[in-house]
């Protein structure tokens, strides 16, 4: 792929890699679908989305249940790791609800998004929605809520490893949990923290009823603090790490070729088609591959701005020479 200069110092695509091919009959100058196509791509499939919510919980309960049924320490260790992708699915479907794209009935969208997805996964939905819309309005702008996740890349390999180590050992997760706990002391934030706490009660009760109270800290809270943090960072930087503020979404958002393995561990529910999502955030997750195909067919997304795998992108994001940061 083509980038601005040396892959060790930037991951921003070069101008030569960004063909000026818009508008077309199907895409506007900003790459948005034209109204007729947009109406088709923005259709929400309520029934199938009910199934997606149910399957997210089935995935969680099956992962924990299999470990309990097998009853071996190795099974519990495997379940601990495999709960990371479970939280990824909860987060992505909650993200869909935050965009008001989960169900056509907006009350149903918000109630299910909050109580069955966001709150059990420790996500303060209302605050997340506000911040996330600011992210979409102006990536890398002055109100970007996730700048700490994206800026400064590429970094050195050593720095990259340190970040992942903090995630894997629970240091990053503990900071997030402390933030939720401290919200109980703030009058404005307390109701949200209380709702998240209430959503944890059925999970704790279920573990106690099963006679295994430790299942909650081991296979719910623990993975959220650790394995989910690793997945969340790897996915986040693969979306926007090292990019720049621009009206051209090809300069704000990476494009990565999708694989089944990545879609299980890292980017479920089509979230890997993230450039298409930022082109039109009103397109539901089921239709993002179709929008991406339109962007490719128009010649707006090309091989020059497409990483062949997430590993290739992570290598580029962690390729900064240490000498540049610590000159002799």
* Token pair belonging to 17: 């890699």
Query: By percentage, how much of the chain surpasses pLDDT 70?
Result: 96
Which tokens in the block code for residue 301? 């997304």
**Residue 10 counted as domain residue:** no
For the residues 26-53, what does the mean pLDDT come to?
A: 98
Q: Exposed, middle or buried, 267 (CB in 10 Å: 0-12/13-18/19+)?
A: buried
Residue 2 scores a pLDDT above 90: no
Q: Is residue 6 part of a domain?
A: no
Q: Specify the pLDDT at position 326.
A: 52
Q: Is residue 164 part of a domain?
A: yes
Residues 6+ apart with CB under 8 A from 194: 184
Residue 29 lies in a domain: yes
Domain that holds residue 159: 15-325
Q: Give buried/exposed letters for 53-91 (b at 16+ CB in 10 A, else e).
A: beebeebbeebbeebeeeeeeeebeebbebbbbbbbbbb
Full-model pTM: 0.94
8 in any annotated domain: no
In a domain, 33, yes or no: yes
**Domain for residue 7, yes or no?**
no
Q: What is the pLDDT of residue 8?
A: 60
Mean pLDDT, rounded, of the chain:
95
Structure confidence by residue, pLDDT tens digits, 211-246: 999 999 999 999 999 999 999 999 999 999 999 999
- Report the pLDDT value the prediction gives residue 6, as an integer from 0 to 100: 52
Average confidence (pLDDT) over 259-265: 97
pLDDT tens readout for residues 86-140: 999 999 999 999 999 999 999 999 999 999 999 999 999 999 999 999 999 999 9
How crowded is residue 281: how many other Cβ atoms within 10 Å of its Cβ? Answer: 14
Number of domains forming the structure of the chain: 1
Residue 4 within any structural domain of the chain: no
| Distance from C-alpha of 181 to C-alpha of 224, rounded to nearest angstrom | 15
């Amino acid at each position: 792929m083509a980038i601005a200069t040396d892959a060790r110092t930037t991951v921003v695509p070069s101008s030569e890699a960004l063909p000026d091919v818009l508008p077309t009959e199907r895409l506007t100058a900003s790459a948005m679908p034209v109204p007729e196509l947009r109406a088709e791509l923005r259709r929400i499939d309520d029934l199938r989305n009910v199934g997606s919510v149910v399957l997210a919980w089935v995935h969680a309960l099956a992962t924990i249940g299999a470990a309990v049924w097998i009853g071996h320490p190795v099974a519990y260790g495997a379940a601990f790791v495999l709960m990371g992708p479970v939280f990824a699915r909860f987060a992505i479907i909650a993200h869909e609800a935050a965009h008001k794209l989960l169900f056509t009935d907006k009350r149903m969208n918000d109630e299910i998004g909050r109580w069955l997805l966001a709150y059990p996964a420790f996500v303060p939905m209302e605050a997340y929605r506000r911040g996330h819309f600011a992210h979409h309005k102006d990536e890398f702008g002055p109100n970007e809520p996730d700048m700490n996740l994206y800026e400064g890349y590429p970094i050195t390999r050593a720095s990259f490893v340190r970040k992942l180590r903090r995630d894997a050992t629970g240091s990053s997760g503990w900071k997030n949990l402390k933030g939720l706990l401290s919200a109980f002391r703030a009058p404005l934030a307390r109701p949200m923290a209380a709702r998240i706490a209430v959503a944890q009660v059925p999970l704790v009760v279920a573990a106690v009823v099963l006679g295994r109270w430790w299942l909650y800290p081991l296979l719910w809270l623990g993975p959220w603090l650790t394995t989910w943090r690793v997945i969340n960072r790897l996915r986040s930087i693969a979306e926007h790490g090292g990019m720049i503020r621009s009206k051209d979404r090809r300069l704000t958002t990476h494009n990565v070729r999708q694989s089944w393995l990545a879609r299980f561990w890292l980017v479920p529910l089509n979230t890997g088609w993230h450039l298409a999502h930022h082109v039109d955030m009103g397109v539901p997750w089921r239709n993002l591959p179709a929008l991406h195909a339109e962007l490719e067919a128009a010649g707006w997304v090309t091989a020059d701005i497409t990483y062949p795998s997430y590993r290739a992108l992570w290598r580029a994001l962690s390729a900064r020479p240490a000498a540049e940061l610590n000159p002799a």
